[in-house]
């Protein structure tokens, strides 16, 4: 899969976010959880990757099926608006 630098940056940002599931990344970019892990390993420094991996591993919020809530989510009023994978102006 050919990804632009902007798409890779967005995938990395989404992977670091606690409440963004791997399913959401797959829906937007077509990458499976294993492909995201591989991308993170290739794009990050080894120590940063280990830190991210330890943080994500076993985290229920990163997996849609393990979440305790079905609908709705917290959203900060200062959070950027995102539409079609492009950050829109306020």
- Residues of the chain scoring pLDDT < 50: 89-90
Q: State pLDDT tens for residues 33-44.
A: 999 999 999 999
Q: What is the pLDDT of residue 18?
A: 80
Q: What percent of the chain has pLDDT over 70?
A: 63
In whole angstroms, give the CA distance from residue 24 to residue 18.
Answer: 12
Q: Using alpha carbons, select from 42, 41, 70, 35 the residue that is nearest to residue 53.
A: 41
Q: What is the pLDDT of residue 24?
A: 87
């Amino acid at each position: 899969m050919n990804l632009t630098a902007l798409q890779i940056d967005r995938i990395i940002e989404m992977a670091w976010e606690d409440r963004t599931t791997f399913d959401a990344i797959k829906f937007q970019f077509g990458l499976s959880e294993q492909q995201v892990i591989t991308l993170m390993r290739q794009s990050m420094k080894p120590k940063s990757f280990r830190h991210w991996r330890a943080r994500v591993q076993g985290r229920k919020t990163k997996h849609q099926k393990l979440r305790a809530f079905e609908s709705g989510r917290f959203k900060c009023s200062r959070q950027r608006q995102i539409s079609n994978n492009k950050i829109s102006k306020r």
